[in-house]
Every structure is written in C-alpha cells, then in structure tokens.
Amino acid sequence: MAKKYKTVVADPPWPLQRLGGGGKAPPEDFYSVLPVSLIASFRFPCATQSHLYLWVTNRRVDWGYQVASAWGFDIVQMLTWCKPGLGVGRFQCNTEQVLVCRKGKPQGNPFGRTHGTYFNWKRGRHSEKPEGFYDLVEQISPGPYLDMFARRKRLGWDVWGNEVDSDIELDLP
C-alpha cells in the first residue's frame, strides 16, 4: 500500500514566459516549465484529510486556484513571503504567495497559530523556497510530508521532481 501524505508542498514550474514580455530572469532561463493543464493533471497519494501548500506566481494566482481544485483541495488562506530587497519586473516584485489548502472536512483549526499571513524569510538562489517556510509547515501540519517539484532533499520529507532523486514514483499523464 502506498504511503498517504498528510502534507504536500508543491512549487510547480509555471510557464511565465508565455504571458508575454518575458522580462528579466524568467523561469524558463533556469528550468523546464509545464503547461498549467499538465500540472493540474498530476496525481499524488495523499490522505483523506490533508494539507497542500501551493506556491503561485503573483501574476497568475488564478492558476493556483485551478490546480488546487483539480487536485481535490479547497483553499483556506494565502500566505505572503516578503523577500528582502527589490526583485525584477515592472513592479520589482519582492513577494511570493503560497496558497494554504485543505482536503477533507474542516475539523476545528487544524493549522493552529501561525502568527499572521506574511513572513520575512531570507532569499536563497532563484526559485529556492526559504527554510523558515518548511519549518512553519512542520509546526502547523502533520506528516508524512511530500515536496512536489522538489529541487533538493529535506530530512523527514519524501521528494519528487526532475532535479532530485525522487523518493516516490507517480503515474504521470
């Protein structure tokens, strides 16, 4: 029987260049991207009651809503990572968003106290998510944990992605 994950983090390779005007440092310069329809068709083993943390882009938060719904999750909240310094683009974007989602019936406040919806975590390399984010997930959501589209291993987590030696196999569309 396959392991059923109670918490999944996903940072899909969203296709931003196709939005026109690629700008500086589009994701396509760093990794392969996938169409939203393909991302939405992915299936992974999760428990009946589970949490999803889905990273989305500022320009296309709506894609996150589409994907979360296709994966069977309801959106509970959006968290904002306030990055130090200024970013690139017309508005020098220095924030990223993560949709906090739930599968299954509400059972009180399963997330407990999070101390707000914005966080000042340090930046890493391009598209790298902060350690503080993973620490928060581990504090407020139960394991077992799966990191989808992972770029590196993390102690206590299973990972899946094309840039890491995956711990699980998925039936891909």
Q: CB-based contacts of 107: which residues, under 8 Å, 6+ apart?
A: 49
C-alpha–C-alpha distance, residues 156 and 146, integer Å: 9
Ordered by start, the domain boundaries in the chain are 5-160
Residues 11, 146 contacting (CB under 8 angstroms): no
Asked whether the predicted pLDDT for residue 18 surpasses 50, the reply is no
Check residues 70 and 129 and name the one with the higher pLDDT. Answer: 70
Mean pLDDT value across residues 107-133: 78
Local structure of residue 142 (DSSP, 8 states):
P
Q: For the beta carbon of residue 160, count every other beta carbon within 10 angstroms.
A: 19
30 pLDDT band (50/70/90 cuts)? low
Task: Report the DSSP beta bridge partners of residue 102.
Answer: 51, 74
Is the confidence at residue 13, as pLDDT, over 80?
Answer: yes
- Topology annotation, domain 5-160: Rossmann fold (3.40.50)
The CA-atom distances, in angstroms, between 159 and each of 81, 154, 167 are 22, 8, 5
d(C-alpha 134, C-alpha 131), whole Å:
5
Flag whether pLDDT at 28 surpasses 60.
no
How far is Cα 137 from Cα 20, in angstroms, rounded to an integer? 34
Work out the mean pLDDT of the chain and round it to a whole number.
85
Burial profile 72-100: b = 16 or more Cβ within 10 angstroms, e = fewer: ebebeebbebebeeeeeeeeeebebbbbb
